[in-house]
Amino acid sequence: MQLYQNQELKIYNSLTGKKDIFNPINEGHIGMYVCGPTVYSNVHLGNVRTFMSFDMIFRYFKHLGYKVRYVRNITDAGHLENDADEGEDRIAKKARLEQIEPMEVVQMYTVDFHNTLNAFNFLPPSIEPTATGHIIEQIEIIKTILDKGFAYEINGSVYFDVLKYNETHNYGKLSGRNIEDLIHNTRALDGQSDKKNPQDFALWKKAEPQHIMRWPSPWSDGFPGWHLECTAMSTKYLGEQFDIHGGGMDLKFPHHECEIAQAEVSNGKSPVNVWMHANMLTLNGQKMAKSTGNYILPNDFFTGDSKHLSKPFSASVVRFFMLQAHYRSILDFSNDALLASEKGSNKLMEAINYLEKLPVGNTTDFDIEDWKNNCYNAMNDDFNTPILIAELFSAVKFINQVKDNKASVTKEDLEDLSATVHAFVFDVLGLQNIEPCNESPDKLSDTVEVLIKLRAEARANKDFALSDKIRDELLAVGIQLKDGKDGTSFSTN
């Protein structure tokens, strides 16, 4: 029996606006699609947070025993500079500015994307398709939508007719936007656009002579609309209806709204059961933006080379920091918050490292089964990682009590506790057990032991000023001495 058969998982569904009990379309199997990056620049920290949320969700599904097909695309064509189907393709623009081929841009930033996610210990998706690899599928969907009368071709471009669609469907049901309000708040067309209505969106754009990225189609040499690629790739690999579609909150409108419209017309059914959206990351209370200098790139954490950072941090500490907030809440980054997360992460790993050394007794002063249920209840409540982490620190407190001979645990319960802690910390949360000073842990230990001996000699000579100075200065750099009946030990905070 798989774990999922004994768990009731609730997921907040953006489509219904509430937490729904999750039941996959096919028992034991999950199809999940997440909108991937547009690879024209380095992946930024806000992107990392979104993909980390779905990596955690993917990991939990696997932990529960589901067979998961996780599809995360690469947008390497068709994403214009704004959502009004105007401007240049972002990748083509980067290629023009740097005087290189568009696919050189794609390759460069796809490699950067993968390297960054690998550093943060992401699991790879099951399939990672590209927009340019699915031009044929996108053309076929456009043909179907045209045949059904929900799109029109003009001057070599094809547009989805939103007002026609809204006559028989509900455009705006995901984002909660009303079509009348959209019409009222949209500027009138200026005569330069081929669209019938400002709300319509491109399925295929005719390429201007200077446009680098182009493909032949029945309508023109051009390129597909940005929204279309996800409909083509998600339905190809997950079917006309699948379980979960995820992405950042900023994609809810218009991108995901347009995906629903395209799929409902082309396939005749609603494509996704559960829509999930991860919230944004801010920096010192402000939106991250390169134009203002209020941003941090992922590599900055590893080098400490940023005005916003006092020191380097490991990728696992940054991951721990992000998972301390619920994926649907706004998370504000600050150096102080990261320092606090580093202390918490070190305390967690220190307790885990001591698990194998704990003495066993005849009784257990901790309700292991109740604690395990609390851990699963947290994750089953819309993947509530902050509550899970709080439960893990309840286990840390108990581990330290056993370590200090203030509580006891039986051999069987210790094995159960250890297995559960490892499963949630490493398999589900994806944290890594990295020494705080991982370049030379042995040298650190040897150095502190020398100082402990010098302190012991100072105390023996009744030089308590020197003894206290050694203790206090070690504490100031995060090393705490603990005096006990068996001598002095130390821990890193």
Residue 386: the pLDDT is 98
Q: Is the dihedral of CA 351, 353, 355, 358 positive or negative?
A: negative
Q: Which residue has the tokens 């950042």?
A: 248
Domains with residue ranges and CATH for the chain? 3-278 (3.40.50.620), 282-428 (1.10.730.10), 441-492 (no CATH)
pLDDT per residue as tens digits for the range 157-191: 999 999 999 999 999 999 999 988 887 666 555 55
Residue 188: the pLDDT is 56
**Maximum distance among all Cα pairs of the chain, rounded to whole angstroms:** 94
From the number of C-beta atoms within 10 Å of its C-beta (0-12, 13-18, 19+), residue 54 rates as: buried
Q: Which residue has the tokens 């286990």?
A: 395
DSSP 6: G
DSSP 13: E
pLDDT per residue as tens digits for the range 355-377: 999 999 999 999 999 999 999 99
Residue 387: the pLDDT is 98
In order of 6, 203, 318, 384, 425, the CA distances from 352 in angstroms are 27, 53, 19, 22, 9
Residue 485: the pLDDT is 67
Residue 82: the pLDDT is 65
pLDDT per residue as tens digits for the range 311-325: 999 999 999 999 999
SS3 breakdown of the chain: % helix, strand, coil, rounded to 5?
50, 15, 35
Residue 189: the pLDDT is 54
> Which of 84, 492, 30, 346 lies closest to 22, judged by CA?
30
Give CA–CA dist 229/484, Å, rounded.
64
For residue 30, list its beta bridge partners: 68
Residue 192: the pLDDT is 57
Q: Residue 439 pLDDT more than 50?
A: no
> Which of 468, 431, 264, 240 lies closest to 352, judged by CA?
431
> How large a percentage of the chain has pLDDT more than 90?
72
Is 421 in contact with 392 (CB distance < 8 Å)? yes
Tokens, residue 35: 């909108």
Q: Residue 420 pLDDT more than 60?
A: yes
Q: Is the dihedral of CA 360, 361, 366, 370 positive or negative?
A: positive
In order of 37, 79, 86, 123, the CA distances from 90 in angstroms are 12, 6, 11, 28
Residue 378: the pLDDT is 98
Is 36 in contact with 233 (CB distance < 8 Å)? no
Number of neighbours of residue 346 by Cβ within 10 angstroms: 19
pLDDT per residue as tens digits for the range 5-40: 999 999 999 999 999 999 999 999 999 999 999 999
Residue 256: the pLDDT is 98
* Least confidently predicted of 149-153, 282-286, 334-338, 476-480: 476-480
In order of 120, 143, 157, 215, 248, the CA distances from 218 in angstroms are 44, 9, 10, 10, 34
Residue 460: the pLDDT is 83
Residue 121: the pLDDT is 97
Confidence (pTM): 0.86
Residue 394: the pLDDT is 98
Which among 35-44, 208-217, 233-242 has the top mean pLDDT?
233-242
Residue 438: the pLDDT is 42
Confidence of residue 431 (pLDDT cuts 50, 70, 90): very high
Q: Is the dihedral of CA 115, 121, 127, 130 positive or negative?
A: negative
396: amino acid identity, one letter = V
Q: Could you give the residue ranges of the DSSP H alpha helices within 40-89? A: 45-64
Tell me if residue 17 falls in helix, strand or coil.
coil
Summary mean pLDDT of the chain: 91
* Least confidently predicted of 36-50, 222-236, 463-477: 463-477
Contacts 24+ apart (CB under 8 A), 419-423: 420/368, 420/371, 420/372, 420/375, 421/352, 421/355, 421/392, 421/395, 422/352, 423/63
Q: What is the mean pLDDT of residues 412-427?
A: 98
Residue 462: the pLDDT is 82
Give CA–CA dist 156/59, Å, rounded.
45
Which pairing describes strands 18-21 and 29-34: parallel, antiparallel, or unpaired?
Answer: unpaired
pLDDT per residue as tens digits for the range 341-360: 999 999 999 999 999 999 99
Residue 375: the pLDDT is 98
Residue 129: the pLDDT is 98
Strands (E), 228-385: 242-248, 272-278, 281-283, 286-287, 331-333
Q: What is the mean pLDDT of residues 205-231?
A: 94
> What's the distance, CA 319 to chain centroid?
9
For residue 160, list its beta bridge partners: 151, 201
Give CA–CA dist 349/433, Å, rounded.
6
Residue 290: the pLDDT is 59
Residue 245: the pLDDT is 98
* Least confidently predicted of 61-65, 191-195, 269-273, 362-366: 191-195
Q: What is the mean pLDDT of residues 385-413?
A: 97
DSSP 198: T
Confidence of residue 488 (pLDDT cuts 50, 70, 90): confident
Confidence of residue 437 (pLDDT cuts 50, 70, 90): very low
* Least confidently predicted of 70-79, 280-289, 383-392, 421-430: 280-289
Sequence-ordered list of residues with C-beta below 8 angstroms from that of 72, at least 6 positions apart, any chain: 33, 34, 35, 36, 51, 54, 125, 127, 128
